[in-house]
Amino acid sequence: MKQALNKTGKCSISQTYGQGGAALAITLMLLAFLSLAGISGLRAATVALRLSTALQDADQAFALSTRAIDHALTTARDDPASLPASGTQTLPTLRDPAYPESRADGEIRFAGTQSCPAPLTGTRYDYEIRVTATAGRGALSHQRQHFYYCRPACSTPPCAETGPVKSGWQVTQPD
């Protein structure tokens, strides 16, 4: 609205049309565009957060299965008599107190005997550790570790025995 003096010197109010409606329409379109951009940014941030959480869960499952294999190898080193002479032996379930939903289950399987590699002599006892670990949101990690012991053929102690020798390692991802 515009105020002006008319010919008689009195103040008159006149309306001018034109630019006022266009400014309102442009402002409303900008506001709608900024709202859509904000919603898109929020959705992108939510997707990125879900992806990073899934990666953290997969890393947690991998770390837990690696710890379970290390625990089994340490047990094999410290107490080789506890290894199965045939068949499989179930490993104790390993859990991470920081992540109560995570767990690692596995087994040690006796894989057979053969001759020790040179320069060692005696019998080589082959084993395979298989571990499956689960973490949050269904993250899985499957690992296999092959190792062997060489036990010398001697009749009188002390017989020098090798510790567990890692001979292969494999990580398989679920389909």
Which residue ranges make up each domain of the chain? Answer: 43-172
In sequence order, the 6+-apart residues with CB closer than 8 A to the CB of 143 are: 62, 65, 66, 69, 129, 130, 131, 133, 169, 170, 171, 172
Measured over the CA atoms of residue 60, residue 65, residue 66 and residue 68, the dihedral's sign is: positive
One digit per residue, the tens of pLDDT, for the chain of length 175 reads 566 666 676 666 655 555 667 888 899 999 999 999 999 999 999 999 999 998 999 999 999 999 999 999 888 888 888 888 889 999 999 998 888 889 999 999 999 999 888 877 788 889 999 999 999 888 999 999 999 888 777 666 666 666 677 777 767 665 4
- The rounded distance, in Å, linking the Cα atoms of 72 and 83 is 10
Which residue carries 């957060």 as its tokens? 49
Q: Can you give the pLDDT at residue 175? A: 47
Q: What is the pTM of this model?
A: 0.69
Of 109, 149, 148, nearest in space to 129 by CA: 109
Extract the tokens encoding 23: 């400014």
Task: Identify the pLDDT of residue 122.
Answer: 82
Residue written as tokens 């290894």?
A: 83
What is residue 83's predicted lDDT score, i.e. its pLDDT?
87
User: 167 vs 48, 49, 53, 87, 170, CA distance in Å?
Assistant: 39, 39, 34, 19, 11
**CA 157 → CA 152, 154, 162, distances in Å?**
11, 7, 14
